[in-house]
Amino acid sequence: MRITGHGLSIDAPQGWEARIFRRDGAAPVLHVATFALREQDGDFGAAASGRMRPDDAFASLVEYRGDAVVRAGVGLFSAIGRPATLRAHDFGPAQLQVTRAGQLGCQRFFTDVGRPFCLYAAIRPAGKGPGRLARELSGVLATLELSGR
């Protein structure tokens, strides 16, 4: 089931939840996960990652507002186009926004359709290996559609 809002769109299949929201004065944020999401989750899912069960996956796409420091296609956001398919070796415990046992994180900065973004993903492999979780999460992220400003 596809959801669309604030210039972002994603197809969350059965078993996944998704939210596209924008706080007052901020740029849009997209969350997608294999567990229940809440309105009060932080932009990068600090609260959401605390609810991850074994074999859960979470991803957050955060757009940044351009200013003197943040500029699309420059510096931290110099990578053009969304990241390639995420794989197991892209994830690691050191890339977690909030370190939690059993979880692995991945972070990518990029610019697409002239908009600077950060993609943050977290997985908690258990019965499923990190490779399988990374593939499933990548499959959902591949349905992402961005509209230019």
Partner 1 sequence: MPAPAGGTRPSNRPPPRSAESQIRWASAPVGYLAVITVLLLIETVLLMLVVVFVVGLLRSHAEILRRLAAVEGEGADGGAVPERMVGASTDAFDIVGETLTGDSVKVRLGAGSPTTLLAFLSSGCAACGPLWESLDRDARIPAGARLVIVAKGPEQESMTSLRELAPRAREVLMSTAAWGDYAVPASPHFVLVDGGSGQIAGRGTAGSWEQIVSMVERAVSDTALTTTDSAPSRVRTTSERAGRAEQALAAAGIAAGHPSLYPAGKPPAVGERV
Compare residues 50 and 54 and give the one whose CB is closer to partner 1: 54
Structure tokens at 83: 């990241």
Among 25, 69, 94, 127, binds partner 1 (CB under 8 A): 127
Stretch that binds partner 1, among 11-19, 70-78, 80-88, 141-149 (CB under 8 A): 11-19
Judged by CB under 8 A, the chain residues 74 through 113 that form the site for partner 1 are: 102
* Torsion over CA: 67, 105, 98, 1 (sign): positive
12 or 106: whose CB is closer to partner 1? 12
> Cα separation of 7 and 81, whole Å?
16
**Is 39 an interacting residue with respect to partner 1 (CB under 8 A)?**
yes
Residue (55 or 98) nearer to partner 1, CB: 55
Q: How many residues bind partner 1 (CB under 8 A)?
A: 26
Token pair, residue 81, equals: 């186009």
Burial (Cβ within 10 Å: 0-12, 13-18, ≥19) of residue 84: exposed
Q: Which one, of 102, 105, 116, lies nearest residue 149 by Cα? A: 116
Residues that bind partner 1 (CB under 8 A): 1-6, 12, 14-22, 36, 39, 53-55, 102, 125-127, 129
